[in-house]
Amino acid sequence: MMSPLFLSMLVSSVLGLGLAIPSYTCIVMGNLDIIRKKGKLSPTDVIFLAKGIVNLLLQCVLSIKGMIFVFSLEIFYISQLSIFMSTSIYFLIYYNFWLTFWLSAHYCTTITNLSYGFFIWIKRIVSNFQSHLLFLTALGVFIVSVLSVWVFHAKSLIQSSVNSTNVSGISLYKVFSYHVSANILGVFLPFCLSLLCLVLTSSFLLRHVWRVKNNDSGSTRPNLQAHVTALRTIFFLLLISTFFCGYQVMIFALSPSLSIVFGNLQLLSPSVEAAVIFQASNKLRRIILKRFWTRSWRNTET
């Protein structure tokens, strides 16, 4: 009989894959439809498209890994497959975190309109060189991911070939230090930067609302619905990101029960982000609803 751990991993893997494939297919096809009609995408749509592709691939790799872990654990001992899947997972997770930061930075620089030189420079970089930033970020994240997996592979070689306790202990300490550094660069740094953008954007909007509310000129209040949607998007993306951060912390804390909980949440996180992207983009919702409405209308006619 299957253990509760394996059963929970299997359910999370299948459910995540079943939710991710149709959701992100709609997101990618919707953005391609925007490109076909308008010729280009807005900065937020570019990031949404990148997130759609990254999260779809991440959900597929995580689900396949979970199913392999449940049904055929011995496959993980194949070094080539283990290295490939580990590199893919690290790269996609790290890149997804940095995509969240670039989206948060875009919202922050667009909404706040701060006059500081640093923010003006960031706004110019994000708006004018977005494609270059995303490419360079992907390249840097890929290098960190490959080195991280290579260090883990070296650790297993050290454990199997080195008999000296002192040499092995020093080498394992270096491996652990590098793994922590890789997670700081790929997970915790973009998470903290995104959180900073959320705090700055929230404080700016609160001050702006307070000034408008106490303004005696009788001017009409501006529509802040788009700004609220941006804040809600950053907040939910950071909330989902805490599942990955919590999983890494629980691994280091050696807490098996909490690691299982956060591990299952991690399996479902990529598919949950699709709902956040849908609520953040009115254009995607209109395109998808129009497509489904037209298809259902044709089916009723036939």
Query: Per the structure, how many domains does the chain have?
Result: 1
In three-state form (DSSP H/G/I as H, E/B as E, the rest C), the secondary structure along 56-106 is HHHHHHHHHHHHHHHHCHHHHHCHHHHHHHHHHHHHHHHHHHHHHHHHHHH
Q: Cα(136)–Cα(125) distance, rounded to whole angstroms?
A: 13
Which domain covers residue 288, as residue numbers? 4-301
Average pLDDT, the chain: 78
- Decide if pLDDT at 231 tops 60: yes
H-assigned helices in 184-224: 189-213
CATH number, domain of 200, equals 1.20.1070.10
CA atoms within 13 A of residue 56's CA, in its CB half-sphere:
16
Burial class (CB in 10 A: 0-12, 13-18, 19+), 263: buried
Is residue 7 helix, strand or coil? helix
CA atoms within 13 A of residue 43's CA, in its CB half-sphere:
22
pLDDT tens profile 150-200: 766 655 555 555 444 444 454 556 666 777 788 888 888 999 999 998 998
- pTM given for the model: 0.85
